[in-house]
Structure 1
Amino acid sequence: MRKILNTLAALALVVLPMAMASCSDNTGESDDAEFANWRNRNAAFYDSLLAVARTDVAQAKAAHPDNWQAYTPWRLLPSFSKPFASQSTDTVVARVIESAATPGLTPYYTDSVRVNYIGHLMPTKSYPKGRVFDHSGVYENESYVFSAQYSTPTSFAVSNLVEGYTTALMHMQVGDRWLVYIPQQLGYRSSASGVLLPYSTLCFDMQLKKVARKGHSLSE
């Protein structure tokens, strides 16, 4: 399958044995009723998650096992020359599922990483957990799951990914497992490929397995 955007150089989408919902153009409108009004539904879905995350962060529930986080890409952070007004379009939401047992490396933009992940769309009637569009897991009990025995982590450069994915990685430590939600504007925007529809919120169950600094190999 062709790669989407030049930032997806290392994260090629998997062709799944499913018929894609057909789109007549790149507006996010589908001929399939299940994916109708896709662009607006995805925006509303992401906004609801961001509201939960902001409430959680404001109440400082850092000790809660399912605490939420919200991050802004580094290029959008405040500066002396440009004021900053946080919006849903410039924020990545993460829900912490598992934290590293001991402090580990956090990736830099110039690093390479090895990650286990399952990427899926927002929940729909036929796909209550979201339709999977890419993964490094295994198929088990009619769904894709992480497996310490059978999963093969994927390796790629942090800088070669869509901005929302890169942002999440740069706040994780080796061993962390997060549910990451990326708005359309920090994902693939109007691009589509396979089961990935235009203007989709990207949902990733991801675990950072290893980090290699610039000039070093992940095999070291």
Structure 2
Amino acid sequence: MNLKSLKYFFFLMMAVITLSSCSEDDDNVSEYANWQERNEQAFADTLAYARKMGEANGWYVYKNWTFENQTANKDQNGNLATLTYKDCDNIIVHVLKKGEGTTSPILTDSVQVSYRGRFIPTDNYKEGYVFDQSFTGTFDAATANPIRSVVGGFIDGFTTALLKMHPGDHWQVFIPYQLAYGASGNSSIQGYSMLRFEMVLKSYKRASGKKWITE
């Protein structure tokens, strides 16, 4: 290949790379177009469905753990004000399998939990892009390698779910972005993302204890 041909080949390759890069950027923009609106609508639709189906069909709505046992302030007349909450102050739970356990961890406990986290479905990811997971494929308790962490060390939505779970519970949990990574997101989570977790609580351990509780 002579110098003239080499120069032509170089510019041709640069053009291909540039076009490919632009195409990838366009796909990325399209993937997350109207992301806030789509995620807010997805959560609203799921919440409406959960309330329609009800607990009898395995659907639950739990308030953010930070609001539990909240006491209302008194107004100028000494009357207790009415506490009001927004839809995004809740997580949504669909019970996939009820565990054998009957007790739940508290905020300072450590847990062994398996999980898979997804975004809402998009054109390129029909089931939702998996941004993090501790297991692959279909969950199998025999081969799962759960992570260990303190209950209070997670995002509010994830912590709220753990505080309600019993050992052996297998849940699908929908977390609004307000109880996840907010409007800013992080290095791997797009801002305004409603997160959908498949979660399995294996066991938990008290801060001062040595035994992992499975019941």
The TM-score with structure 2 as length reference comes to 0.77
Q: What is the CA distance between 1:97 and its match in structure 2? A: 0.3
Aligned to 1:83: 82
Among residues 174, 188, 192, which one is paired with 2:186 in the alignment? 192
Q: Residue by residue, what CA displacement relative to the aligned partner does 1:119-140 show, whole Å, maximum 9, x if unpaired? A: 11011111111100111102xx
Residue 51 (structure 1) aligned with residue 48 (structure 2): yes
What is the distance in 2 between the residues matched to 1:216 and 1:129? 40
What is the distance in 2 between the residues matched to 1:85 and 1:54? 18
Aligned to 2:130: 132
Q: What is the CA distance between 1:83 and its match in structure 2? A: 3.2
Residue type matched to 1:44 in 2?
Q
Aligned to 1:39: 36
CA contact (8 A) 1:112 1:218 kept: no
What is the distance in 2 between the residues matched to 1:74 and 1:148? 27
**Distance 1:131-1:31 versus aligned 2 partners, 3 A rule:** closer
Residue 99 (structure 1) aligned with residue 92 (structure 2): no
What is the distance in 2 between the residues matched to 1:184 and 1:118? 17
Among residues 118, 126, 149, which one is paired with 1:156 in the alignment? 149
Greater helix content: 2
**Distance 1:200-1:75 versus aligned 2 partners, 3 A rule:** same
- What are the ranges of 5 or more consecutive residues in structure 2 without an aligned counterpart? 1-23, 74-80
Q: Residue by residue, what CA displacement relative to the aligned partner does 1:9-64 show, whole Å, maximum 9, x if unpaired? A: xxxxxxxxxxxx87xxxxxxx9520211111110110011111112223xxx42x3
What is the distance in 2 between the residues matched to 1:212 and 1:202? 26
Q: Residue by residue, what CA displacement relative to the aligned partner does 1:181-206 show, whole Å, maximum 9, x if unpaired? A: 00010000122223x21110011001
Alignment of 1:201-212 (within 5 A): 201-212=194-205
Q: Indicate the RMSD between aligned Cα atoms, in angstroms.
A: 2.2
CA contact (8 A) 2:72 2:83 kept: no
SS in 1 for 2:47: helix
Identical pairs, percent = 34
What is the distance in 1 between the residues matched to 2:101 and 2:140? 23
CA contact (8 A) 2:117 2:131 kept: yes
- What are the ranges of 5 or more consecutive residues in structure 1 without an aligned counterpart? 1-20, 23-29, 139-143
Q: What is the CA distance between 1:145 and its match in structure 2? A: 3.2
Residue 168 (structure 1) aligned with residue 171 (structure 2): no
Aligned to 2:7: none
Q: Residue by residue, what CA displacement relative to the aligned partner does 1:64-89 show, whole Å, maximum 9, x if unpaired? A: 3xx11000023224423263223221
Structure possessing the higher relative contact order (Cα contacts under 8 Å, 6 or more residues apart): 1
What is the distance in 2 between the residues matched to 1:75 and 1:91? 11
CA contact (8 A) 2:40 2:194 kept: yes
Aligned to 2:20: none
The TM-score with structure 1 as length reference comes to 0.75
Residue 213 (structure 1) aligned with residue 202 (structure 2): no
- Give aligned pairs, total: 181
